[in-house]
Amino acid sequence: MSSNYQIDNIDLKILNVLSKNAKMPYTEVAKKVFVSGGTVHVRMRKLEKMGVVRGTKLDIDYSKLGYNTSSYMGIYLEKSFLYKETVKFLKKIPEIVEIHAITGQYTIFIKIICKDTSHFRNFLDTIHKVKGITRTETFMSFEETIKEGLALN
């Protein structure tokens, strides 16, 4: 693949279609974008090689598995140089499904999935034992209203 490949409107249309349903067959994508199935396949390979597409994810409704408490947490670190060590530890905690380095008042922002508030309380006991974390602020989510990919153009 040429390193000077330029992403065009067709690539963006393909990404838009697949961002709504990553399991859609390339032949169906092709019909929606008005190109051949082979074109979709070749372009997706290029986008994967470029690192634009990093794979596909399974979107799980955790509430149907008994995990009914979703929350977000801002984490304050004692010293910013502890970031890498802290993230390494956080990655081992199964309730944490996202970790973000952010700007603003927190150093780290995480998404947590727990079965219930008792499970969340146990999670808090674990998180507050992590070296370098001075305090946290939690935001409980009552409902996820929208979860879609960005409309590319």
Taking only the tens place, the pLDDT of each residue in 76-107 is 999 988 999 999 999 999 999 999 999 999 99
Angle, vertex CA 22, rays to CA 21 and CA 28, nearest 5: 70
Range of lowest pLDDT (8-17, 66-75, 93-102, 141-150): 141-150
Residues carrying CATH 3.30.70.920, the chain: 62-141
Place of tokens 């999670």: 123
Mean pLDDT, all residues of the chain: 91
Residues carrying CATH 1.10.10.10, the chain: 9-50
Ordered strands of the 108-114 beta sheet: 96-101, 108-114, 69-77, 133-141
CATH T-level fold of 62-141: Alpha-Beta Plaits (3.30.70)
Taking residues 26-53, report their average pLDDT. Answer: 95
CATH class of this structure's domain 9-50: mainly alpha
